């Protein structure tokens, strides 16, 4: 929760500064570098502890894969059917044209995959955990939200319209409901307690928090499952935003879950309509707040 407040503080601080002695092109390049660093660190973190995590993933793969598929289908199609109007309004003009470059979308997605794989390979080879990793990521996210806050002010976007966004509230509620339904179905398929299924489906991509909470409230196996379910969710979202996100922007922003306002945000900004940034911050903030609340409540059932 402290990290969430710090991120929102960075957004407000950036919004409050009218002029910066830096050009827009330099700010946009900084956002690109932040994307690369975050994805590289994600891959490195997984690769540096691969001997333990990969063996855990193999042993828990049936449950992890079942929940991953169920959550993607439930989130994506719930938004597809119920938010058609929002999806249409947020599409970039490029997609209304016959010349939509799907090869370019594939290339953009592939670029993110390559960065993550490079990070994983470095982690596997070096086998040395990054010191102060959480502080480093928090600094990157602070800079990211500071820049976006400043750019929103420059574009005349109201901060109130971002934080108290009606579409963001709708999207967050839809993701929560569809995730819990998917979690109940996946729990039945896997033969685990339905309350455990609700817990595993309540991370919304925030794998650092969900894995710790779930591990403490149930056991370490479930903590590992929560980690992989939410980590894979984030990777899938980042990979598919340049392609599916162009056609179904609200659906992909929603699938990002809580990461829509941090890790996934620079990718959303690079590839989707500017209005998607507002939707991402609003829905991501609400879903991030919901994670510790829902997991704690379901653990007591």
For the cut 60, the answer to whether the pLDDT of residue 1 exceeds it is no
pLDDT for res 95? 45
Is 49 part of a structural domain of the chain?
A: yes
Mean of pLDDT values over 125-150: 78
pLDDT for res 220? 82
Is 174 part of a structural domain of the chain?
A: yes
Is 10 part of a structural domain of the chain?
A: no
What's the total number of domains in the chain?
1
pLDDT tens digits, 23-69: 878 888 888 888 788 788 878 877 776 666 667 668 789 999 999 99
Mean of pLDDT values over 188-214: 93
pLDDT for res 52? 64
For the cut 80, the answer to whether the pLDDT of residue 101 exceeds it is no
Model confidence at 97, pLDDT cuts 50, 70, 90, reads: very low
Is 9 part of a structural domain of the chain?
A: no
Answer whether 238's CB lies under 8 Å from 119's CB: no
CA–CA distances in Å: residue 271 to residues 24, 178, 222:
17, 25, 34
pLDDT for res 99? 43
Alpha-carbon distance of 48 to 249, in angstroms, equals 33
Model confidence at 20, pLDDT cuts 50, 70, 90, reads: confident
Radius of gyration (Cα) for the chain, nearest Å?
A: 19
pLDDT for res 96? 44
Least-confidence region, from 118-127, 142-151, 152-161, 186-195: 152-161
Is 15 part of a structural domain of the chain?
A: no
pLDDT for res 268? 92
pLDDT for res 4? 66
pLDDT greater at residue 30 or residue 182: 182
Domain range enclosing 204:
23-299
Is 282 part of a structural domain of the chain?
A: yes
pLDDT tens digits, 236-293: 998 899 888 988 999 999 999 998 988 888 889 888 988 899 999 999 989 988 999 9
Mean of pLDDT values over 126-135: 72
Is 283 part of a structural domain of the chain?
A: yes
Question: CB neighbours of 90 closer than 8 A, spacing ≥ 6?
Answer: 249, 250, 272, 273, 275, 276, 279
CA–CA distances in Å: residue 29 to residues 7, 23, 147, 154, 271:
20, 10, 11, 17, 14
Answer whether 170's CB lies under 8 Å from 83's CB: yes
pLDDT for res 100? 47
Is 208 part of a structural domain of the chain?
A: yes
pTM of the predicted protein model: 0.82
Round the average pLDDT of the chain to a whole number and report it.
85
């Amino acid at each position: 929760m402290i990290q969430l407040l710090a991120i929102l503080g960075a957004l407000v601080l950036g919004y409050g500064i009218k002029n910066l002695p830096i050009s827009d092109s330099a700010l946009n390049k900084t956002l690109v570098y932040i994307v690369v660093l975050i994805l590289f660190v994600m891959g490195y973190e997984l690769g540096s502890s691969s001997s333990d995590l990969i063996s855990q993933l193999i042993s828990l793969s049936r449950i992890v894969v079942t929940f991953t598929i169920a959550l993607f289908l439930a989130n994506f199609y719930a938004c597809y059917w119920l938010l058609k109007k929002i999806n249409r309004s947020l599409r970039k003009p490029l997609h209304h044209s016959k010349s939509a470059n799907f090869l370019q979308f594939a290339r953009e997605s592939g670029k993110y995959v390559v960065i993550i794989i490079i990070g994983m390979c470095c982690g596997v080879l070096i086998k040395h955990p990054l010191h102060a990793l959480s502080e480093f990521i928090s600094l990157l996210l602070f800079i990211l939200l500071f820049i976006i806050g400043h750019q929103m002010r420059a574009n005349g976007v109201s901060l109130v319209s971002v934080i108290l966004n009606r579409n963001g509230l709708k999207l967050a509620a839809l993701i929560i409901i569809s995730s819990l339904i998917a979690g109940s179905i996946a729990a039945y398929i896997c033969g685990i307690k339905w309350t455990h299924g609700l817990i595993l489906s309540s991370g919304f991509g925030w794998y650092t928090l969900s894995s710790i909470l779930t591990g403490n409230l149930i056991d370490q196996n479930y903590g590992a499952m929560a980690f992989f379910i939410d980590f894979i969710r984030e990777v899938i979202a980042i990979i598919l935003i340049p392609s599916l996100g162009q056609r179904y922007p609200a659906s992909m922003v929603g699938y990002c879950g809580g990461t829509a306002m941090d890790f996934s945000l620079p990718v959303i900004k690079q590839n989707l309509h500017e209005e998607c940034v507002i939707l991402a911050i609003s829905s991501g903030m609400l879903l991030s707040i919901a994670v510790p609340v829902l997991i704690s409540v379901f653990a007591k059932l």
